[in-house]
Structure 1
Amino acid sequence: MNNNKPPFHHHHNNHHPHPPPPHNRPNYPQPPPHNRPNYPQPPPHNRPNYSQPPPYNRRQPPKPPKSTLSSCIVATIFLLFLIILIFILYFSLFKPKNPSISITAVTLPSFTLSTNSSTVSFTFSLYAAVKNPNRAVFTHFDSSLQLLYLGNQVGFMFIPAGKIEPGKTELMAATFSIQEFPISKGNVPTTAMSIGPPVSDGIERVKPAMEVEMKMEMVGRIRVLWFFSHHVETVSDCRVEITIYDGSVLGFHC
């Protein structure tokens, strides 16, 4: 038997003569670094600096100074005095009064009697004095003058608006025509009235006459103390006696 085989040697080598191939792991992409959002940082926690409440005071609130109280009392007394003074002045000096009307003359410049003595027409003239007794200006408007016969209006006219100064008297004259109107058959002859010139030529005669009524109305306002406006009005009512033959004014009574 041929024992020429090389002897078997045991190699105690930790390394394999042919190392195994490296372990090929899959090449996964690496994840990007974790980027957290850059949130703004909150401000530091500042607690409000609450002031400490004052200690509870059991005492009563302080009373107002005596000087302030005295001033309020004096102001109240002065205000009451001023109001009372205004009322006294208003009712004593500035209390509105109605103007007064004085009829000074009445004439008939023209007078016409119809042939059968049943109708008349004439021109009527009036002279009056209007006095303002107030301490303020009297502003008159809507004033009128009317003539009545047996209760029926036979003539009318408006008095122009105007002003009368305080304490002054204004003379007014008005003339207007009266259209023809019938007269009553019952006009009884009368004697002359006590007011006005008597109808006499040495022997007092009786003449037929007619009576007409005249109304003069003054309407306006008075401003007192530059603030208060007061409505005033006055009326003068007169009866005028006229002869029906020639239109002579026998007299008038207001």
Structure 2
Amino acid sequence: MEKPLASSSTMEEAASSKQTSKTNASMETQSSNTTTSGRKGRKRNRKICICVTLLIILTFFIIPLIVSLTLFKPKRPITTVDSVTVERFRASINALAFKVDLNLTLHVDLSLKNPNRVGFSYGSSSVLLNYRGQLIGEAPLPANRIAPQKTQFMNLTLTLMADRLLSESELLSDVMAGVIPLNTFVKVSGKVSILKIFKIKVQSSSSCDLTISVSNRNVTSQKCKYSTKL
């Protein structure tokens, strides 16, 4: 006995169902491809933004830094004591009081050289006069600015503060020996501004040991040490 053949309507429904499944699968595949493509696009945009940001940083920070460290490389200012002369000197021995009455004024010529391609600004300071490690006189050094690659010359007067030597027993021995050892010291601190962005602190100092002749009333020897640092 023969089996009855499937009706045409049943076959059409089956074909339609298969077609619908294929269409849905195709749409899902397209949707997945679109999502993946969108993610890749966002990653690419982020990479572009990062590259642009790095380029801006290089342009506004790194390049000026390279220029400042090459063409505008900071150099140390140099403070020099050019000469020390005696303007006034009087020393007398008070035998009864066993002490020395000393009247002393020194004229000091200083020069401060700025070797940088930019200006150097420094704060107020003082030139100090010392006797065997004790401060006995000072002269003010006002704040100022030195133009690029220029030297500033300064003339200062150091006057002995007599009350500082009242307790110095060694002074009597020095006067009787005919020589008085003294020291002048000056330290200048300031900043070098490069491209108005980088400010570098610099310091320059000088220390001079000198000997004054009691009989000739002048400086007989002078030895100076100079120090600079960034």
TM range (shorter): 0.5 to 0.7
Q: 2:92: which partner in 1?
A: 114
Measured on the aligned residues, the alpha-carbon RMSD in Å equals: 3.1
Q: 1:200: which partner in 2?
A: none
> How far has the Cα of 1:140 moved from its partner?
1.4
The answer to which structure has the higher strand fraction is: 2
The answer to which structure has the higher helix fraction is: 2
Query: Helix, strand or coil for the counterpart of 2:172?
Result: coil
Query: Helix, strand or coil for the counterpart of 2:149?
Result: coil
| Post-superposition CA distance 1:172-221 (Å, at most 9, x none) | 110132133355233398xxxxxxxxxxxxxxxxx821110110111222
Which of 174, 186, 198 lines up with 2:173 in the alignment? 186
Amino acid at match of 1:75: V
Alpha-carbon distance in structure 2 between the residues aligned to 1:230 and 1:81: 21
Confirm whether residue 142 of structure 1 aligns to residue 132 of structure 2.
no
Query: Helix, strand or coil for the counterpart of 2:68?
Result: helix
* Alpha carbons 2:138, 2:159 under 8 Å: kept: no
Gaps of 5+ in 1: 1-54, 190-206
Q: 1:250: which partner in 2?
A: 220
Given the two structures, how large is their TM-score scaled by the length of structure 1? 0.62
* Alpha carbons 1:238, 1:253 under 8 Å: kept: yes
Q: 1:167: which partner in 2?
A: 149
Q: How does 1:1-254 map to 2 (within 5 A)?
A: 57-59=31-33, 60=35, 61-62=37-38, 63-64=40-41, 75=52, 78-79=55-56, 81-82=58-59, 83-116=61-94, 118-180=100-162, 181=165, 182=168, 184-187=171-174, 208-254=178-224
Larger radius of gyration: 1
Given the two structures, how large is their TM-score scaled by the length of structure 2? 0.67
| Post-superposition CA distance 1:41-93 (Å, at most 9, x none) | xxxxxxxxxxxxxx87332243439x968965763664465344333223223
> How far has the Cα of 1:243 moved from its partner?
0.6
* Alpha carbons 1:142, 1:220 under 8 Å: kept: no
Gaps of 5+ in 2: 1-26, 225-230
* Alpha carbons 2:85, 2:107 under 8 Å: kept: yes
Alpha-carbon distance in structure 2 between the residues aligned to 1:186 and 1:118: 10
| CA distance 1:80–1:226, change in 2 (3 Å) | closer
Alpha-carbon distance in structure 2 between the residues aligned to 1:144 and 1:222: 20
* Alpha carbons 1:101, 1:236 under 8 Å: kept: yes
Identity %: 26
